[in-house]
Chains A and B, each alone.
Chain A
Amino acid sequence: MTRALALVLTLLVAALFALSLLVGPAGLSPATSLAALIRGEGLAETLVMREIRLPRAILAAMIGAALGLAGAAMQGYLRNPLAEPGLLGVSGSAALGAVIALQTGFAAQFALGLPSAALVGAVLAVGLILALAGPRGGSLTLILAGIAVSALAGALTALVLNLSPNPFAASEIMFWMMGSLADRSMTHVWLAAPFIAIGAVLLLVQGRAFDALTLGEDSAASLGVNLSRLRLVLVLAVASMVGAATAVAGAVGFVGLVVPHILRPFVGARPSSLLWASALGGAVLVLAADIAVRLVLPDRDLKLGVLTAIVGAPLFLHLVYKTRAQGL
Chain B
Amino acid sequence: MAPLTGRSTLACRRASRALAAALAFWAGAAVAEPPERVASINLCTDQLAMMLAEPEQLVSISRISHDPNVSVMLKEALKYPINHGQAEEVFRLNPDLVLAGQFTSSYTVGLLRRLGVEVAQLPIVNSLDQIPDAIREVGRLLGRGAQAETLAAQFSADLAALRASPDSRPRAALHYANNYTSGDKSLANDILTAAGFANIALEAGLSGGGTLPMERLVMLMPDLIISGQQYPGASRSEAVLTHPAMNALRDRHAGSALSDAEWVCGTPAVLRAITRLQEAGE
In the complex, chain A residues whose CB is within 8 Å of the CB of B221: 43-44
* Alpha-carbon separation in the docked complex, A256 to B216 (Å): 34
Asked if A51 contacts B243 (CB within 8 A), the reply is yes
B-facing mask of A9-37, CB < 8 A → 1, else 0?
Answer: 00000000000000011100000000000
Q: B204-248: which residues lie under 8 A (CB-CB) from chain A?
A: 211, 213-216, 218-221, 231-240, 243-245, 248
Please state if B244 and A186 are interface contacts (CB–CB under 8 Å): yes
Contact of B211 among A43, A107, A299 (CB under 8 A): A299
CA distance A45 to B239 in the complex (A): 21
Whether the pair B231, A48 counts as a contact (CB closer than 8 A) is no
CB within 8 Å for A102 and B234 given contacts A24-B215, A25-B213, A168-B177: yes
Shortest distance from the beta carbon of B130 to any chain A beta carbon, whole Å: 25
B252 interface hit (Cβ, 8 Å): yes
Q: Are A168 and B219 in contact (CB under 8 A)?
A: no
Contact across chains for A43 and B252 when beta carbons are under 8 A apart: yes
Contact between A164 and B243, CB atoms less than 8 A apart: no
* In the complex, B115 has a CB within 8 A of chain A: no
> In the complex, what distance in Å separates the CA atom of A299 from the CA atom of B216?
11
Given contacts A102-B234, A183-B179, contact A52 B253 (CB under 8 A): no
Known: A26-B218, A52-B214. A168 touches B244 (CB 8 A): no
8 Å CB contact of B234 from A48, A107, A183: A107
Contacts of A172 in B (CB 8 A): 235-237
Q: Is the CB of B218 within 8 A of A44?
A: yes
B-facing mask of A49-84, CB < 8 A → 1, else 0? 001110000000000000000000000000000000
Q: Given contacts A103-B234, A166-B231, A166-B232, is CB(A183)–CB(B239) below 8 Å?
A: yes
CB-CB contacts of A99-112 with B at 8 A, as 1s and 0s? 00011010110000
Is A165 interfacial (CB-CB < 8 Å)?
yes
A147 to B179, alpha carbons, bound, how many Å?
35
Q: Check B231 against A175 for contact (C-beta < 8 Å).
A: no
Secondary structure of the B side of the interface? Answer: helix
Residue in contact with A44 in the complex, picked from B219, B235, B238, CB distance below 8 Å: B219
Q: How large is the interface on A (under 10, 10 to 19, 20 to 34, 35 or more residues)?
A: 20 to 34
- Contact flag A167-B215 (CB < 8 Å), given A43-B252, A51-B248: no
User: A165 near B253 (CB under 8 angstroms)?
Assistant: no
Question: What is the CB-to-nearest-CB distance from A161 to chain B, in angstroms, rounded to a whole number?
Answer: 9
Q: How far is the CA of A44 from the CA of B179 in the complex (A)?
A: 17
Q: Which residues of A contact B244 (CB under 8 A)?
A: 51, 185-187
- Decide if B216 touches A168 in the complex (CB within 8 Å): no
Are A165 and B233 in contact, CB atoms less than 8 angstroms apart?
yes
Are B231 and A299 in contact (CB-based, < 8 A)?
no
Nearest CB of A to B240, in Å? 5
A47 at interface, CB cutoff 8 A: yes
Chain A's closest residue to B249 (CB) is A47
Shortest Cβ gap from B259 to chain A (Å): 15
Question: What mask results when residues 172 to 192 of chain B are scored 1 for a CB within 8 Å of chain A, else 0?
Answer: 000001110000000000000
Contacts of A103 in B (CB 8 A): 233-234
A263 is an interface residue with CB less than 8 A from chain B:
no
What distance in Å separates the Cβ of A57 from its nearest Cβ neighbour in chain B? 13
Q: Can you report 30 residue pairs joining A to B where beta carbons are below 8 Å apart?
A: A24-B213, A25-B213, A25-B215, A26-B213, A26-B216, A26-B218, A44-B219, A45-B219, A47-B218, A47-B245, A47-B249, A48-B218, A51-B243, A51-B244, A52-B218, A52-B243, A52-B245, A164-B234, A165-B232, A166-B234, A166-B235, A168-B178, A169-B234, A169-B235, A171-B237, A172-B235, A172-B237, A183-B214, A299-B213, A300-B211
Given contacts A166-B232, A169-B233, A172-B237, 19 further A-B contacts (CB under 8 A): A24-B215, A25-B215, A26-B215, A26-B218, A43-B221, A48-B218, A48-B219, A52-B214, A52-B243, A105-B234, A166-B231, A168-B178, A169-B234, A171-B237, A175-B236, A183-B240, A299-B211, A299-B213, A300-B211
